[in-house]
Amino acid sequence: MRRVGPPVVRLLDDDVESIRYSLASHLLYSVGKDPVNATARDWFMAAAYTVRDRVSERWMPTLNRYYDQDQKRVYYMSMEFLIGRTLSNAMISLGIYDQVKTAIEEMNLDFDEIVGWEVEAALGNGGLGRLAACLLDSMASLDVAGFGYGIRYDYGMFTQHVEHGWQVESPENWLRYGNPWEFPRPGVIYPVRFGGRVVHYKDVLGQTRAQWMDTEEVMAMAYDVPVPGYGGKTVNHLRLWSAKSTREFDLKYFNAGNYIEAVRDKNESETLSKVLYPSDITSRGKELRFKQEYFFVAASIQDILARFRKAHSDWNKLPERVAVQLNDTHPALVVAELMRVLVDEHHLEWNHAWDLTRRSCAYTNHTLLPEALETWPVDMFERILPRHLEIIFRINHEFLQEVRHRHPGDSDLLRRVSLVGEDGERRVRMAHLAVVGSHKVNGVAAIHTGLMKSTIFSDFEHLSPGKINNKTNGVTPRRWVLAANPGLSKLITEAVGEGWVTHLDRLKGLEKLADDKDFHARFAAVKRANKQHLAQVIGQRLGVDVSVDSLFDVQIKRIHEYKRQLLNVLHVVTRYARIRANPTVDVVPRTVIIGGKAAPGYILAKLIIKLINDVADVVNNDPLVGDKLKVVFVPNYNVSTAELVMPAAELSEQISTAGTEASGTGNMKMSMNGALTIGTWDGANVEICEEVGEDNMFLFGLTAQEVARRRIDGYDPQIAINANDELKRALDMIGSGYFSPDQTDRYRSLVEALTNGDTYLLTADYPLYIAAQERVDALYRDPDEWTRKAILNVARMGKFSSDRTVAEYARDIWGVATNN
């Protein structure tokens, strides 16, 4: 029997008095302090434990319920989870926010200061990792038995400092003070093997079998982070793996009397979970990265199958009870690992194992950029995972055989769809492995899915029509509206009731208030208060004085050429040149806020950060300019910064080259918080436009088709530059050192990238972008009309709740019910 003791009961009450008692108890018994010598950080820990206790009380019953009802589990496999801070979010999910806040304040403590001590969990780079976090929140909120699997990096995303305008990275030792949200599970530990060789032999029944041997081993130990759903009925978890050395590994050296070697080896095997690769979208050819991918895949598959086997002996039930979602190709080794375990360890027939594997797995693609498509050299693959390479070769052989039968004589097709690329160095194509090994493949916005079908996966679309489908991304309204923007949330709740938090479509009820004078005034006042707050933080932390009367124009996201922060800078420089040419002109005052991290090895992206800061230095200190234009680079863009900035944004910059941004989610967060979007026909901008209406946005520029056409025809930026004096002037100013008098050629390479080639077509879109910015100014001169459109944006963003996204995955891919 599994459960012998009594079921878990709720021991703790949620009233202010009980919570105060918990806080005091934890301060003394868990933190080891008393109110006399406790710091704010000590109180943060006490508050975290106080809330965590109440999370745990709801967590165990959830797991028991799943077990008792033999619920199908969804496993969301992701190398990244960009969770952010947890305390406020957990308080809100459990419905104890007011009580905890009151209890803290009644002890004469500063609630905001205490909350501010939490170090955010930044186990991700950007959009992909943040999506994983939003989906976990929505799965728990919809009572889906959904669990995350990932890596517990000792060092998450680096901290970005700005020194003399340049990005400087420092490691984020986020676990230094301990992480109150994780539960170490020293008993949940699995071996993960690397290297060695494969021998084939015949067993007693005459069956040919493979044995993978002489491997090195690392242990994967589980840490569980509870994920409370909104309303507190369901608490799921995220299981993160940490690498530990194996005892046998050490003994080899200890027995030889070499203590130092043994300890060194121990450290080396533990490097596997040491650090997150800080490069958004690319991480090519790095052996450690490949090992990280296998490490978390192997541990997760063992864990998933162990849980399945506790309840089932019939392998045929696997796809009915287990859905594995691959967040990009980083976990694509799941396909080969599941095959290996089923065939080599459980002796299933190949075809049987293949059927179960495919029906259990599904894959989400996140990018079409060729540099981001993962491939691994065959010889490295063979050295590290020799058995998996054999399995992939056999999968490929049988797959190509099938394609050959259906399309005889088409050897070019075989070359194109093969899991192994043969041009130049032979490489395993992880996207092809993921597609072939999955029953469903999805993109993350309609336009992106369409492009998947017509470009990188067009052959697969013909081979398996219907397999590729769309699941437009969403964001959780709990974190991104309810928690981040309490002023707006209060207003919404007064207007449409509380239901919007879990049924975001109900924001539609705001439409009828878009012309209501009183609502206008209150909506505008909320935005102004949020701007005030941001302006205060900018003044305090960065020493820049920004006017709350200016238009807050925001572009916050990873710094990348395709996202075109440079186009934004070209607009800023154009604006600046106009003001200088005519200082008395009546312009709409702007504060341009830009934030984002560059991958440490991405030289051009780091140069763009320096340019933003150089431009800011000139513009902000030019007495001719004053409040007409300010430029602010917000350092260390992360989830907490996003929560501060999004509610204050009035204009959301979503200006990627059409066809390059798969979806974007920053666009959704800002629109939900009442910003108007200036953007291209790219990613989810297109669907946001379908919902909120083209009149309520500023869309501009080439379409994805036009971009593709121009690239085929061979784009010449010189023509666009020569045709536009302001563009030429802006490029000249940047290229000649106007903003970098200390080093006049600093930006020559940057300007040359635009004048020769201009891969991302900034010069083609520039005139249309400037024209769209002029429409922005014109509208801002009419505050009522601006506010009306902002209200309509909020009212019509219901589709972009990650609850809708999860419900679609549940229905079309996972085959599980949702409770909404």
CB of 534 to ligand PLP, least distance (A): 16
CB of 663 to ligand PLP, least distance (A): 7
Catalytic residue among 50, 449, 665, 787: 665
- CB closer to ligand PLP out of 162 and 817: 162
Minimum CB distance to ligand PLP smaller for 128 or for 631: 128
Residue 209 appears among annotated catalytic residues: no
Of 388, 557, 564, 746, which one is the catalytic site residue? Answer: 557
In a 3-state reduction of DSSP, which class is residue 763?
helix
**Which of 62, 367 has the CB closer to ligand PLP?**
367
Which tokens belong to 276? Answer: 């997150």
d(CA 665, CA 675): 14
Question: For the chain, first and last CA: distance in Å?
Answer: 34
Provide the minimum distance between the beta carbon of 560 and ligand PLP in the complex, in angstroms, as a whole number. Answer: 9
248 phi/psi in degrees, rounded to 5: -60, -40
Q: What is the DSSP letter of 119?
A: P
Cβ at position 683, least distance to ligand PLP in Å: 8
- Residues in CB range of 721: below 8 A, 6 or more apart: 727, 728, 731, 755, 763
Determine the 3-state secondary structure of 228 from DSSP: strand
Residues 608-667 that bind ligand PLP (CB under 6 A): 638-639, 642, 664-666
Interface with ligand PLP in residues 61-90 (CB under 6 A): none
Question: Which entry of 130, 563, 628, 746 is annotated as an active-site residue?
Answer: 563
Size of the site for ligand PLP (CB under 6 A): 12
Instruction: Calculate ∠ Cα 630-631-635, nearest 5°.
Output: 140
Nearest to 478 by CA among 139, 31, 723: 139
Nearer to ligand PLP, 769 or 814 (CB): 769
- Pick the catalytic residue from 152, 239, 366, 571: 366
Q: What three-state secondary structure class fits 74?
A: strand
What 709-713 contacts at long range (C-beta under 8 Å, 24+ apart), as own/partner pairs, is 710/761, 710/764
Length of the chain: 820
Q: Which CB sits closer to ligand PLP, 567 or 639?
A: 639
Helix (H) or strand (E) holding 41: helix 40-68
**Catalytic (active site) residue 366:** yes
Closest CB to ligand PLP among residues 20, 669: 669
Distance separating alpha carbons of residues 511 and 496, to the nearest angstrom: 10
Burial label, 645 (beta-carbon count in 10 A; 0-12, 13-18, 19+): buried
Rounded to a whole number of angstroms, the minimum distance from the CB of residue 451 to ligand PLP is: 17
Write the secondary structure of 637-687 as one string of H (helix), E (strand) and C (coil): CCHHHHHHHHHHCCEEEECCCCCCCCCCCHHHHHHHCCCEEEECCCCCHHH
In the block, tokens 């690392």 appear at 218
CB of 539 to ligand PLP, least distance (A): 23
Nearest residue to ligand PLP by CB is 666
Which residue lies nearer to ligand PLP by CB, 358 or 669?
669
Instruction: State the binding string over 128-147 for ligand PLP (x if CB under 6 A, else -).
Output: --x-----------------
CB of 371 to ligand PLP, least distance (A): 17
Query: What is the Cα–Cα distance from 612 to 615, expressed in whole angstroms?
Result: 5
Contact between 598 and 557 under an 8 Å Cβ cutoff? The reply is: no
16's CB contacts (< 8 A; 6+ apart) are: 99, 102, 103, 106
Q: Is 563 a catalytic residue?
A: yes
Q: Strand, helix or coil at 791?
A: helix
Stretch touching ligand PLP by CB under 6 A, among 64-72, 124-132, 341-349, 797-805: 124-132
For ligand PLP, the closer of residues 385 and 668 by Cβ is 668
102 included as an active-site residue: no
Question: Can you tell me which of 557, 590, 628, 788 binds ligand PLP, judged by CB under 6 A?
Answer: 557
Rounded Cα distance, 332 and 326, in Å: 7
How far apart, in whole angstroms, are the C-alpha atoms of residue 648 and residue 287? Answer: 42
42 or 280: CB nearest ligand PLP: 280
Q: Which is nearer to ligand PLP, 609 or 639 (CB)?
A: 639
- Pairing of the two strands 216-228 and 121-123: unpaired
| Alpha helix (H) residue ranges in 244-385 | 247-255, 259-270, 287-311, 318-321, 333-340, 350-360, 378-384
- The CB-of-230 to ligand PLP minimum distance in angstroms stands at 19
**Cβ nearer to ligand PLP, comparing 221 with 475:** 475
Q: Least distance from C-beta 655 to ligand PLP, angstroms?
A: 11
User: Under the criterion CB under 6 A, does residue 127 sit at the interface with ligand PLP?
Assistant: yes
| Gyration radius of the chain's alpha carbons | 27
CB of 289 to ligand PLP, least distance (A): 20
| Min separation Cβ 278 and ligand PLP, Å | 13
Helix (H) or strand (E) holding 208: strand 208-213
Q: 665 an active-site residue?
A: yes
- The single residue of 130, 506, 558, 799 carrying the catalytic annotation is 558
Residue 558-597 contact track with ligand PLP, rule CB under 6 A, x = bound? x---------------------------------------
Annotated active-site residue in 330, 429, 669, 799: 669
Where does this chain bind ligand PLP (CB under 6 A)? 126-127, 130, 557-558, 638-639, 642, 664-666, 669
**Residues noted as catalytic:** 366, 557-558, 563, 665, 669
